[in-house]
Chains A and B, each alone.
Chain A
């Protein structure tokens, strides 16, 4: 079964840059688009990156997405970290007739 693996948690200071990885266990991560979702505590998720690297309207350009086929992984990079970025982040894609989310990464900004 296709799976996406994310680090359980990352932490960084305000103003710094952090990158969250999302690694596929088989096939090619480039075969289908990867999306990234942000979920703040007690709130519904929101979409921060669609189709590997597209920012929906209203998402600051501090958020960017990329794909690395050599490591079969996708990445979400957040620059100029703000305390409001503290949240859980999930990657998501589609493979083997299944929609798959990564397990989520808790970002702490301290």
Chain B
């Protein structure tokens, strides 16, 4: 099982961004894939999850409307997207394979560092 994420991003406030997570070694359409934020020096926050089979996306309340989670099952890839970045979006974003709806994370991606600065 591998989750390989896209590379480091440096953006300006107001920019849009879409980062990716490509899964391999497992049936991508039959597991939830989640995104976890870690702000600098802070803890982990599960932003939301998606079921690639039917693109059913669920968000943690604090992230609803702030980001969009999507997936393209034809290429085993999940995405996390912002339409207008803020400096407070700076952090490391991990994708994860989730076994249960309760958030049991089995495998983690390597993380994508996003820096938003003017």
Contact = CB atoms under 8 A, between A and B. Distances in A.
B100 to A, nearest CB: 7
Contact of B94 (A44, A51, A93, A103): A44
Given A45-B94, A45-B105, A94-B103, 8 more contacts: A47-B106, A50-B104, A93-B102, A98-B60, A99-B46, A102-B43, A103-B43, A104-B44
A32 interface: yes
Interface in A54-102: 56, 88, 90, 92-94, 97-99, 101-102
Interface of B: 34, 36, 43-46, 49, 60-61, 94, 99-106, 108-111
Contacts, number: 59
Interface string A27-48: 0000011010101000011110
Contacts of A104: 43-44
Nearest to B62: A98
Given A44-B109, A45-B108, A32 B43 contact: no
5 contacts: A35-B103, A44-B109, A47-B104, A51-B104, A104-B43
Given A92-B46, A101-B43, A35 B104 contact: yes
Nearest to A39: B44
